[in-house]
Amino acid sequence: MRTQPNVLLLFSDQHNAGALSCAGHPDVTTPHLDRLAASGVRFNRAYCQDGVCVASRASLFTGQYPRALGCLDNGDRSVAMEEAISLPRVLQTCGYRTAAFGKRHLYLGCDAGWHIRAGHQIVESPDDNYVDWLRAQGQIAAFSRDWAAEFGCGPDGTPEHGQDIAFALLSARASQLPEDCTMEAWTKRRTIEFLRTRRQGDPPFFCFASFYRPHQPYTPLPRYFERFDRRQWGRGTRHGDVLAMPASLRQPVAELPPVFQEWHAGTNRIWRLDLARQDEQLYRDAIAAYYALVMEIDDHIGDILRVLEETGQRENTIVIYASDHGDFVGAHGMVEKCSVGHNIYEDTLRVPLLISWPGRIAPRRTPDDLVELVDLFPTVMELCGAPAAAVPGLQGASLAPYLLRDQPVGKPWLVSENWSQTTVITPRYKLGVWNDVSQSRPQQDYRAFGPMLFDMATDPLELRNCWSELPEVREQLSQYLEAWRKRQPDVPVPPVAPALP
């Protein structure tokens, strides 16, 4: 007799949905994620609720839109977040053993409900974290060098660990850590240790295995980085010996949103896109390092799935792979996600979403239905047999009818929103409007630039703003947005009392 299923949520940070070999990428090879996708469903059109870490993760783990949580940016904390009911908390009440290993980047009630939690940083998990473990291994200097590629200092904010503790242009260089001492290896090891402790007859588990990468700093292990010949551009091959140039790498800067223009002008402390436009080797190194990190994570996921099979738990485990948002990886001449001033491009809003459950979810399906990360909470609830009334007011829609019975998801449109821009996405079109940003940036910069409308059927690279050319489309999408805002009133940010963390 089948018991309640286990749930293994494999997660990464900043994984561009196209950077999978099963999605047809010419340079990236991800055999383990490819096999996972083939064993179940890979959603082609999955979107995050906000192209920044905390807001996206909080939305996923509470089933609420960022505006309902009062969390539109990484630093936001609100009473709504404090009072939120998290997915692991609900699963605990249903008899699940819950565990989280790696980067959570969740706060207040969004992070409640873990029996076991071990994080990458001390602030996440003071009693069980990667940084303290790394110090015990005598490897903090090597990790500080990696960390400094983006931050200019070690993880504790000080520059004294080792030499060459400085920024790397576009945050990319090879790591000097031993292979078993990276953040990714630590997350895998802790996850495998947990899986090996499970015994027949134990309560079902919900395990969140969350990798920090391919988020910057882009510091992969040398053996992955060296798979690419970064000295030249080419059409790309499955063997990864030549990198394919992003088709929109040289988009004219004047066509880009205001903050993108600032970065291209060299105003950002580390993302010196002005120098990369003069020396494409900087782009090549950053893009190759990003792809290398994706392949590094894929190998770790393969090890986790192998142990799941060896321990006899695979058949009754729902395995999900997703990411909180994407990365430009050179598109529009951009790197990272630039969440400080946009929330519209496919590169950062569309995410990988793979769901597999042997014997229950039919394999080898790649639907184009529009789905959202906020849908995962009700989906997991339904697949696990949790009562629908356990959490009133969930704002996503369960994907279980599609996963189990092939019923179309049927969403005609969806919305992704951060503090600067709100975007309506339909199967063909995408409309992004600027929010009131007067408190953080000159509002006139955005108003002068104007709304953004893309026809993804004729312009999949999102190079041409069609706002003035498609009045009927912009009116229809504007009506969708207005209806959504009326249904989803926002929580002011930040209404948290000063005493709260």
Per-residue pLDDT of the chain (501 residues; tens, 9 = 90+): 458 999 999 999 999 999 999 999 999 999 999 999 999 999 999 999 999 999 999 999 999 999 999 999 999 999 999 999 999 999 999 999 999 999 999 999 999 999 999 999 888 899 999 999 999 999 999 999 999 999 988 887 766 454 556 788 899 999 999 999 999 999 999 999 999 999 989 999 999 999 999 999 999 999 999 998 777 666 554 444 568 889 999 999 999 999 999 999 998 878 999 999 999 999 999 999 999 999 999 999 999 999 999 999 999 999 999 999 999 999 999 999 999 899 999 999 999 999 999 999 999 999 999 999 999 999 999 999 987 667 888 999 999 999 999 999 999 999 999 999 999 999 999 999 999 766 556 666 787 899 999 999 999 999 999 999 999 999 999 999 999 999 987 776 655 443 333
CATH number of residue 82's parent domain? 3.40.720.10
Q: Quick check: is 76 in a domain?
A: yes
Q: Quick check: is 315 in a domain?
A: yes
The string of DSSP letters for 60-119 reads: HHHT--HHHHT-SSTT---HHHHHPPPHHHHHHHTT-EEEEEE-----GGGG---SEEEB
What's the CA gap between 104 and 13, in Å, rounded? Answer: 10
Q: What range does the domain containing 337 cover?
A: 6-137+169-411
Q: Quick check: is 267 in a domain?
A: yes
Q: Please state the domain count of the chain.
A: 1
Q: Quick check: is 30 in a domain?
A: yes
Secondary structure element (H or E) that encloses residue 135, with its range: helix 130-136
Q: How many helices (H) and strands (E) does the chain have?
A: 17, 15
Secondary structure (3-state) at 81: helix
Q: Quick check: is 246 in a domain?
A: yes
For residue 313 the two structure tokens come to: 């738990």
What's the CA gap between 303 and 285, in Å, rounded? Answer: 27
Q: Quick check: is 159 in a domain?
A: no
For residue 96 the two structure tokens come to: 């699940």
Q: Quick check: is 474 in a domain?
A: no
Kindly report the pTM of this predicted structure. 0.95
Q: At which residue do the structure tokens 């004047």 appear?
A: 254
Q: Quick check: is 329 in a domain?
A: yes
Q: For 135, how many CA atoms within 13 A lie in the half-sphere containing its CB?
A: 11
